[in-house]
Amino acid sequence: MITYFYWALFFAMASGALYVVGGRFDHWRGAFIVAIAILLTGWAAYFFHFQQMFVKNWGGVMAIAVPAGQFHIATTWKDDNLWIENYDPATNKCIFSEYSKGNLLQGQVTIKNCNPLMPRATTGQ
């Protein structure tokens, strides 16, 4: 819900710039430049700072797709970064992927011979 409020606020600010600069002062070129600058600033702030904060703390909206051929195992937060564990059966590896703010710093940890989805062999006793 907070994500929708955030975007409604930025669209209202852009519309206000169009109304004030374009409608009141009859300077439409400047109005569109200001409105686009407001929307680009809102997008950059959301993508590089607020998205994961909204999702983690205030119930925002975020979607991540599992890569083709992999199975999702677990997801956890470490500070403000999201870590996702997937299993790749083709290579028999567990892959932990980090999604940081803006996806600028993405860590990855690979565990070889992981095989978490297969039942373990039991010894007869």
pLDDT string in tens for the chain (125-residue length): 788 899 999 999 999 999 998 888 888 999 999 999 999 999 999 888 888 888 888 877 778 889 999 999 999 888 878 899 999 988 889 999 888 776 666 788 888 988 776 665 555 55
Same domain, 42 and 77: no
Same domain, 11 and 36: yes
Give which of 6, 125, 124 is closest to 59, Cα–Cα. 6
In a domain, 87, yes or no: yes
In a domain, 23, yes or no: yes
In a domain, 118, yes or no: no
- What is the domain count for the chain? 2
In a domain, 22, yes or no: yes
Maximum separation of any 2 CA atoms in the chain, in Å: 88
Residue 107 · residue 86 · CB < 8 Å: no
Domain of 93, in residue numbers = 71-112
In a domain, 96, yes or no: yes
In a domain, 123, yes or no: no
In a domain, 83, yes or no: yes
For 9, the token pair is 């606020």
In a domain, 121, yes or no: no
Give which of 69, 100, 72 is closest to 84, Cα–Cα. 72
